[in-house]
Amino acid sequence: MPSMIHRKPALAALILTTGLGLAAISATHAATTTTAAPATTANTTTAMTPAQKAIIAHVDARLATLKKSIGITTDEESSWHGFTQVSRTNALNLSAMYEQRAKTLATMNAVQNMESYAAISAKNADDMNALSASFQTLYSKLSPAQQKKIDAAFRAKAEAMTKKHLKKLKHS
């Protein structure tokens, strides 16, 4: 799998940055038609590369699905906005790190390769902590019914991922 990540840094960034929650909602609500994602500000999109714009478009589509499935209310909008901003920033951060790694990979020795991957992993961990904190803020604003819905979606995705990983371990 690392070879796929090296060839597709934007994909890797998206997969790692959007986290379990967005994956859970996407899988749980795959059949749900999404509404248009909120527009990104002109200042943000004009400075982006086409690849970065594609990452943000994909993140925004997943966020729109999540927003619709949770049923974010006007009172929850502020917390929702914080969560979406962290999601987008994380996606761009990780993409940039994988792009930089891809540019220098051919000249890295084994130690540099390990250090590069460690830096990406550390940044991803920091970003996931920020995403978790922003999600905790949002979660605390949700109604009990919304919390129950998102709890079930996260649990289902975590169970599926655990089952998948355990199956791989048995075949190793």
**How far apart are alpha carbons 18 and 4 in whole angstroms?**
18
Q: Determine, yes or no, domain membership for 74.
A: yes
Q: Determine, yes or no, domain membership for 71.
A: yes
Q: Determine, yes or no, domain membership for 31.
A: no
The whole-chain average pLDDT of the chain stands at: 80
Tell me the two tokens of residue 48: 């982006």
Gyration radius of the chain over CA positions: 17
Residue 107 DSSP one-character state: G
Q: Is the pLDDT of residue 35 over 60?
A: no
Q: Determine, yes or no, domain membership for 144.
A: yes
Nearest to 83 by CA among 60, 103, 115: 60
CA 39 to chain CA centroid, Å, is 18
pTM summary value: 0.70
Residue 44: what pLDDT?
52
Nearest to 49 by CA among 114, 84, 96, 7: 96
Q: Is the pLDDT of residue 99 over 50?
A: yes
Per-residue pLDDT of 139-156, as tens digits, reads 999 999 999 999 998 999
Angle between helices 77-104 and 9-28 (to 10 degrees): 150
Boundaries of domain holding 87:
2-26+36-170
Number of domains in the chain: 1
The four Cα atoms 103, 105, 108, 109 give a dihedral, to 10 degrees, of 180
Least confident piece of the model among 14-23, 63-72, 99-108, 109-118: 14-23
**How far apart are alpha carbons 75 and 113 in whole angstroms?**
46
CB 94 within 8 A of CB 13: yes
